[in-house]
């Protein structure tokens, strides 16, 4: 990983005239070096016409595809007071959610105005930092936000609020983890762990 990030095109090409075999070709359409440190997350919005990158340089950069769908233009770079660790879009694509190391608040970025709204992740609303959120995932209905931390804890929030619906434990994550989470179509949650299991 480094500060570079690219827009790629994935094309399936037939290897012979019978159509029985094909190969995948990856083409670089565009490359950027906007960030000054590692890019740790890239997320597409639900509509598929915008994407954002998060970096340990403390910034999030938002891009929009051009009409050709082969290029993207940078819309905005937003700076925070720490490494950006996690990134997720709201279901409607109107806000981008970022987690910043050493900050107890989730940062909700309005794509219309670029204003940043804060939602404290601490149940008591204080400014104590006891974990870092390393992964964010919005539920299929858009009402909840799942946050995986570096303390072997995953928190299910009511999106946009500090309300903790449920806490999940039993897996292993630390400050060097790169956990991933996913909701399936039935609402079940799958979590990765450093012990090489999926929970």
pLDDT per residue as tens digits for the range 115-138: 999 999 998 888 899 899 999 999
Tokens matching residue 152: 């072997």
The dihedral through the CA atoms of 131, 137, 139, 143 has a sign that is: positive
- Tell me the pTM: 0.88
Residue 165 has pLDDT above 90, yes or no: yes
Cβ(131)–Cβ(176) below 8 Å: no
pLDDT confidence tier of residue 112, bands split at 50, 70 and 90: very high
CA distance 140 to 43: 16
- Of 167, 161, 172, nearest to 189 by C-alpha is 167
């Amino acid at each position: 990983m480094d500060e570079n990030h690219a827009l790629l095109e994935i094309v399936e090409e037939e290897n012979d005239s019978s159509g029985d075999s094909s190969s995948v070709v990856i083409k670089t359409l565009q490359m950027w070096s906007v960030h000054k440190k590692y890019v740790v997350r890239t997320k597409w919005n639900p509509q598929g016409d915008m994407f954002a990158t998060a970096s340990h340089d403390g910034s999030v950069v938002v891009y929009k595809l051009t009409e050709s769908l082969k290029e993207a233009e940078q819309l905005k770079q937003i700076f925070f007071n720490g490494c950006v660790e996690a990134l997720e879009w709201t279901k409607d694509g109107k806000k981008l959610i970022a987690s910043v190391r050493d900050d107890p608040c989730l940062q909700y970025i309005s794509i219309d105005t670029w204003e940043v709204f804060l939602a404290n992740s601490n149940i008591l609303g204080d400014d104590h930092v006891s974990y870092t959120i390393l992964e964010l995932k919005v539920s299929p209905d858009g009402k909840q936000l799942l946050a995986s931390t570096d303390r072997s804890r995953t928190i299910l929030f009511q999106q946009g609020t500090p309300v903790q619906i449920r806490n999940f434990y039993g897996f292993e994550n630390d400050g060097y983890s790169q956990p991933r989470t996913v909701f399936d179509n039935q609402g079940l949650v799958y979590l990765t762990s450093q012990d090489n299991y999926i929970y």
